[in-house]
A and B are shown apart, each in its own frame.
Chain A
């Protein structure tokens, strides 16, 4: 198997996923083109030799439909002879794009691949693509249809995580993000986004709320209680988990991942390409894995995905210095900690999606870039990115520093 190296990683700032968000008036191809142009310029690679452009996008419909990878590449004015493909596995799309690109290199079928993701939640909301989930009664029954927020509350209930536990975790995410923004440790990876007149649209992540405390969060009402109680989901979940007397609805906007817009891109190359094009790698992608779990509790997969990924590499949790576990909801990371027994100090050291937001299909490549930077900064040898995924899935990627 060939080695796959990450040469560089860029991303847009994450804009609030609302009509007043900094990126909302731009188009998904604007964001896609911005990160593709940036990765080409920064690495100095001849774009024409790129074998493929693989972008993650969860909702591949409307302005994100019809292959946003090929569209973004062409819109960026990059050479016609590079194709594009979209990878879609809900929240895992971006990390799967990285893994897919790496797989092409590892299998010897490509030498230079751009991977990343695009998602504008302000434009195409989650579930915007449709599909049988939700609307097809028999599929709902077969998959124990559960909204993600209710699934996160179910995780908290099953584990006994209190509202105080999840809120405390959310505050730590904000504190770590504030520290990371203050010392500018990731500033180099963020591409300011401009409109076609050259006016700056957004230069900084605009979702974090520094200074958030457990007290300020205590005022927020549970976001999924009504859906669970009146919407019927809690009753149905008791059929799947008949030991539950009820669901403890602890999640709200302040301890769940933020709804944002954003895009990301990485350059992934083979060893041969490193030498031929005189590139310096930042890290090596040493393995990846994906798992399926009970779709109703849905978001408990990162531990299983990590174990599968590490097991294949002959490693275990003790061999890993840093983790990026996507903060879809606070309970997801708390559940990962409980299952894996990994020390909290090693997880999401620069904060996570609760502070920054989670631009679904773009997040995986962003977390990969963040981990690469934090590994270099802290001298870590190995790191793992893992994300829970809707309908009961999870993805993980193993990174190692290059000696």
Chain B
């Protein structure tokens, strides 16, 4: 069997090449750590060797630890037990008495960078694929093997703070400029340069062990204090209250950097143990990483269906949604016919697409060439255009059953058999729309989210008659568009509109009760939602919401005591239909302001509702509806719902999602909370049998 680490000695320098034969990347597994540790022991004991180089045989340097192992730690001491061998190995490198150089090609991220930081020198290949970063925060974590301590001692606090708080990686060029690496080389010169550094007398002592070593922006300097004081509120204001890793990073940086390294490492380990075993990190990892990766593999794709290839596609309806969908299709390299009732409308549609492209360009997501390529793929045509050569059509006309049925019938009649036809609808049941079609088996729902070019989620809705082949084709198309599909069964509001409807409905109910909308929205913001539900209601528009609640009425249980329609009607009767006219709020370029007429419309409730009650009403409304959808068989698995909530309406990752929220609280506590809400606000909060059973048996939706 091939060894994980091989050693070749060159002129008194041992070159250790890490190349795990069992894995595509070098992971800091227990086995690999032990192999490296043994190898370093041998090198340190070998009098013929004066130093050593650590390199990778893979295209990237070293990846971090095993996230699966880490996310199973449920208390701080388990985290320490997992990390301590790694920390001991890094200490052995750092204090071993012989100079060590990391020879870096490709990504040195997370645990990989931490290994490089424990070395006394770093040499890297100067290519675009060489990147340095501490991305732990994107998983709700923080560096746990010295990243918060050695990185700032090397590159300064200001730079390290940005890297660790944002998780963004830096290029090889920046790494050299910041002092993170000592030298850049070309591909072939890497090992030579690393060996030369040792031959030239690299010290086996870290610079931060010297008495006179100081860090710029030292936490106890005026500049350092200002740096921390300015960073904290900016960071905190963007977070959900449940996010805890950012504070822990700032604490480890602050209190670690004003002490010697070893004390700093203890402080970092203490924070890491708490963070890595926290619900917030577990939720973030499960939904944001494991769950999304799982769904990207499309587990709901029916087995045995050939991969569908698409040449020409069409989008019917050149409104905002249609244009967004057409943009994404074209970006995937597909030819798109953009169809609407007349040439003027589709020409305007193409202008809308140009504006989308320009916005993407401005934020660096699209090049000029990319923009031109996208626009060239889109052909705006009138309603009589031939669809004979089209492989897939997505209808995105006005959300009205009669309008959609008429369009779908006309489109399907001119399509070749087997061409996929999808309706982009947020609420209209697919099986109902299918009734007017000649080939309902070729038809299904594809619910995109605005802005389409920015939101990765597509809710793929299987109608009663949708064939497996059609479902597979739709999923292939979503994959081609580099979006993430969640497959759901048909029903009023499918999954996302159903859950979001309950959430918005609860907020509108509070409005009708006379609760201050600002209070409702601020509570939602603190929970971690990007926008308050009533502010969002104005942006969606009161008439659209009225239509959505109209279709959701079939979910009878969820509507008991809901006063959403009452609130919507009252607003509409006053001519308050949304952002343009003013809705719940007045709107201007300065943002939202209170509407003076609101108090008369919904007389304020004397028995005011506490922020905590509002928080629970908004959270439970979503989670309960999600459980009802799961119980009704709309959803494949809870993780689908959590990922959909994250991607669809930016549900805060620290809470995991609509199902994880229940797990975090504990089903028993959640059920009792719902029963209290049920007594106070109506039986829409009555916990369903599935949940009551789980509470009794102490079960959770997610096992890890």
Contact = CB atoms under 8 A, between A and B. Distances in A.
A378 to B, nearest CB: 44
Interface string B241-271: 1000011101100100000000000000000
Contacts of A232: 233-238
Contact of B518 (A128, A231, A233, A243): A243
B232 interface: yes
A213 to B, nearest CB: 28
B99 to A, nearest CB: 36
Contact of B254 (A135, A141, A238, A239): A135
Interface stretch (B220-228, B291-299, B342-350): B220-228
Contact of A243 (B224, B234, B246, B519): B519
Nearest to A231: B233
Given A137-B232, A141-B236, A236-B233, A242 B251 contact: no
A66 interface: no
Contacts of A242: 518-519, 522-523, 526, 611
A239 B593 CA distance: 18
Contacts of B237: 232-233, 235-236
Given A235-B237, A242-B518, A134 B228 contact: yes
Interface string A131-171: 00011111011000100000000000000000000000000
Nearest to B225: A135
A140 B526 contact: no
Contacts of B250: 137
B219 interface: yes
A273 B94 CA distance: 69
B201 interface: no
Interface residues of A, number: 24
Contacts of B224: 135
Contacts of A239: 241, 522, 525-526
A233, A236, A245: which has the most chain B beta carbons within 10 Å? A245
B688 to A, nearest CB: 30
Contacts of B235: 232
Contacts of A136: 228, 251, 254
B24 interface: no
Contacts of A230: 234
Contacts of A137: 228, 232, 246-248, 250-251, 254
Contacts, number: 78
Contacts of A127: 225
B516 interface: yes
A235 B532 CA distance: 13
B139 to A, nearest CB: 19
Interface in A224-256: 230-233, 235-236, 238-239, 242-246
B594 interface: yes
Interface string B197-231: 00000000000000000000001101011101110
Contact of A140 (B226, B232, B518, B522): B232
B232 A245 contact: no
B591 interface: yes
A130 interface: yes
B34 interface: no
Contacts of B522: 238-239, 242-244
Contacts of B560: none
B565 to A, nearest CB: 26
Contacts of A135: 219, 224-225, 228-229, 254
A395 B592 CA distance: 39
B249 to A, nearest CB: 8
Contacts of B233: 140, 145, 231-233, 236
Contact of B229 (A128, A134, A243, A244): A134
Nearest to A136: B254
Interface of B: 219-220, 222, 224-226, 228-230, 232-238, 241, 246-248, 250-251, 254, 516, 518-519, 522-523, 525-526, 591-594, 611
27 contacts: A130-B220, A134-B225, A134-B226, A134-B228, A134-B229, A135-B219, A135-B225, A135-B229, A136-B251, A137-B247, A137-B250, A140-B233, A141-B236, A141-B247, A145-B229, A231-B230, A232-B236, A232-B237, A236-B233, A239-B241, A239-B522, A239-B526, A242-B523, A243-B518, A243-B519, A245-B592, A246-B591
Interface of A: 127-128, 130, 134-138, 140-141, 145, 230-233, 235-236, 238-239, 242-246
Instruction: In the A-B complex, list the 3 residue pairs whose CB atoms are closest, starting with the nearest.
Output: A134-B229, A232-B237, A232-B233
Given A140-B236, A145-B233, A239-B526, 4 more contacts: A127-B225, A140-B232, A232-B235, A236-B237
